[in-house]
Amino acid sequence: MTLAENMAVDVDAVLLRTEEHGETVVYRPSSGGTKDITAIVQWAFAEEQNNDRSSDDVRTGQMWISQDATNGIETPTRDDEVTIDGDLCSVVGDSISESGMWRMSIRRTVPFEVGASRLRHPRL
């Protein structure tokens, strides 16, 4: 077995275990339906976007999921959505195949409440 084949086997058995690095998320393919899967989520940075009427807290990051159709998503697209810790996120880039996993860019936008502290959201 090659290293790439070993890594593909280890994706679900080791890397995506919720006892290790993974967390359960709800994936919503643009084709419809939902699926609970395990993902590794790494948030990058938070920023505030303002317009004339409101402000939004925006957070971008990377997410890794299994390429296996049973344990993950066989073919993700940039129009898909995922709920992470109750927050709806969008898949904003093309998914890249990496040793049995998909790596994708995600973006979370939460309306900023007037008078609220940036500390109201634990991941900011």
The pLDDT score that the predictor gives to residue 100 is 83
Q: Is 64 a member of any domain?
A: yes
What's 93's domain CATH number? 2.40.10
- The helix, strand and coil proportions of the chain, stated in percent and rounded to the nearest 5, come to 15, 45, 40
35 falls within a domain: yes
| pTM for the whole structure | 0.75
Most confident of 10-14, 24-28, 39-43, 46-50: 24-28
How many of the other CB atoms lie within 10 Å of CB of 89?
A: 22
Residue 103: Cβ-neighbour burial (10 angstroms; 0-12, 13-18, 19+): middle
Residue 21 domain-assigned (yes or no): yes
Cβ burial 3-30 (10 Å sphere, 16+ → b, else e): eeeebbeebbeebbeeeeebeebebbbe
In a domain, 54, yes or no: yes
Kindly provide the residue ranges of all beta strands, DSSP E only, lying in 29-95, ordered along the sequence: 35-50, 55-66, 81-84, 87-91
What range defines the domain where residue 108 resides? 3-116
Residue 121 maps to a domain: no
Structural domain includes residue 124: no
| Inside any domain, residue 122 | no
Count of beta carbons in the 10 Å neighbourhood of residue 115: 5
- Assigned domain for 123 exists: no
Number of domains the chain contains? 1
Q: Please write the tens of the pLDDT for every residue from 45-93.
A: 766 666 656 667 788 999 999 888 888 898 999 999 999 999 999 999 8
